[in-house]
Amino acid sequence: MSDPAIPQLTRESVVAAHKLIEPYVHKTPVLTNTTISKLASIPRTPAELEGTEWAGRTPARPVMRLWFKCENFQRIGAFKARGAFHAIEKLKQTPGWLESGGKEKGVVTHSSGNHAQALSLAAQVNQIPAYIVMPSISPIPKVNATRGYGAKITFSGSTSVEREAVTASVIASTGAVLIPPYDHPDIICGQGTASLELQDQVSESLSSPNPPYTSLSSSQKERSLNAIITPCGGGGLLSGTALSCSGLPIKVFGSEPSYEGADDCTRAYNSHPTDAVRIETVKSLTIGDGLRTPVGKIPWSIIYERMLVSGMYSVTEDQIKSALKLVYERMKLVVEPSAVVPLAVCLYNEYFRAMVEKEAGEEGWDIGVIFSGGNIDLGKLGDLLNGA
């Protein structure tokens, strides 16, 4: 891959990535849902807050108009196709890679499923061998899809340390080039292209003769997004989104599951205002299986050290299940648990809701919510929804 020691990634870096991958990825739709936006804007009752860390607080009264970027309709069913295709295109441009037999040696990565599928597809399109290290607990549909794109799979333990150790052995035996799932500039810039599209799509919708959310005032119709919130696992999507919004009046927020410490970035981000330390290990079996990894070094440098992300928030497993059920019932969309974590924050995290109320006032905010993917094990869907 290209040298990760890039001094400064910018919005222009993401724009360039979008031009490079445009022939290979879908421009996914942006949907609205009046009912869900109303639910996000209704104060929670004191009874709902009882037994939570917000018990006794006055419920927040935010006004939110939510715009859903549906990356569940992306190739391989997730945003990860963007980063994978960008990484491959940049690799093809690397001096000496082709001449040294790089195409025959192939590429390798470790992933629980979505990046695995994405890299396998990008490699297949370019006729490059792909070697994928997957945790043995990866969802069966993601394993089958990865194998279906022609990749050779090696299984590992579930932690990032275990994945990386097996990946190193595959590299040693094949000479394949590592395409990391999130901790590389090429991946980050590719993932940020979803936000670029989202910004343009919302602006276009707001300026149309019949925009969604018809109660908007004329001054509001002239605006675009006020904020974007994404899931955060390794941080590639979140940091790429932050880059795409740098220099713009759009705030960016991250969201994570809190179960078994999967909220590593949230905990680190909120631990100290000036010199927080990245948490490097996570061992969680949250239902948001795409978010079980610790935030990467390069994403962290964008999220926290450059302060391009305005806040990090987490939600419980039950809140993720409730948001998942709401999307299935009201939007009729197939999304995975990881994808609805940002929506769960909008609906249930009182810190986030109070912040929106304070900063947005009565006019409220137009908030982009990135649905990161839709690769769910349908055999387990009933258990997830019945538990909501």
Grade residue 6 by pLDDT with cuts at 50, 70 and 90.
low
DSSP letter string, 270-327: TT-TTT-----------S-GGG-SPPPHHHHIIIIIS--S-EEEEE-HHHHHHHHHHH
Share of the chain above pLDDT 70, in %: 95
DSSP letter string, 9-76: --HHHHHHHHHHHTTTS----EEE-HHHHHHHHSPPPHHHHTTSTTTTSPPP---EEEEEEEGGGSGG
Around Cβ 56, how many Cβ atoms within 10 Å? 9
**Over the stretch 260-276, which tens digit does the pLDDT of each residue have?**
999 999 999 999 888 99
Grade residue 351 by pLDDT with cuts at 50, 70 and 90.
very high
Element (H, E) at 269: helix 264-269
Residue 379 pLDDT greater than 90, yes or no? no
Rounded Cα gap, residues 333 and 380, in angstroms: 16
Share of the chain above pLDDT 90, in %: 80
Strand order of the sheet with strand 107-110? 152-156, 130-135, 107-110, 177-178
Region 11-78+187-386: CATH code: 3.40.50.1100
CATH class of 80-183: alpha beta
Residue 168 pLDDT greater than 90, yes or no? yes
Q: Are 268 and 318 in contact (CB under 8 A)?
A: no
Residue 245's pLDDT is 98
The domain limits of the chain are 11-78+187-386, 80-183
Chain Cα centroid distance, residue 74? 13
Mean pLDDT of 320-336: 97
- 364 contacts: CB under 8 Å, gap ≥ 6: 41, 62, 63, 64, 65, 356
**Over the stretch 77-105, which tens digit does the pLDDT of each residue have?**
999 999 999 999 999 999 999 889 999 99
| DSSP state for residue 175 in the 8-state scheme | -
**Over the stretch 352-363, which tens digit does the pLDDT of each residue have?**
999 999 999 999
Residue 274's pLDDT is 84
Residue at token pair 């003769």: 209
Q: Active-site residue 136, yes or no? A: no
Through-space distance between the first and last CA atoms of the chain, rounded to whole angstroms: 42
Q: Are 334 and 298 in contact (CB under 8 A)?
A: no
Catalytic residue among 37, 41, 111, 112: 112
Strand order of the sheet with strand 227-231? 30-32, 64-70, 365-371, 227-231, 251-257, 311-315
Element (H, E) at 250: none
Residue 222's pLDDT is 61
Q: Which residues pair with 312 in a beta bridge?
A: 254
Residue at token pair 């979505």: 114
**Over the stretch 212-258, which tens digit does the pLDDT of each residue have?**
886 555 555 566 899 999 999 999 999 999 999 999 999 999 999 99
* Nearest by Cα to 90 from 10, 151, 179: 179
* Domains 11-78+187-386 and 80-183 are alike in CATH topology: yes
Catalytic residue among 80, 103, 251, 321: 80
**Over the stretch 123-146, which tens digit does the pLDDT of each residue have?**
999 999 999 999 898 878 889 999
Grade residue 302 by pLDDT with cuts at 50, 70 and 90.
very high
- Residue 295 vs residues 79, 269, 316, 332: alpha-carbon distances, Å: 17, 11, 19, 31
- Whole-prediction pTM: 0.94
Residue 273 phi, psi dihedral angles, 5° rounding: -70, -25
* Nearest by Cα to 194 from 346, 26, 324: 26
Q: Active-site residue 112, yes or no? A: yes
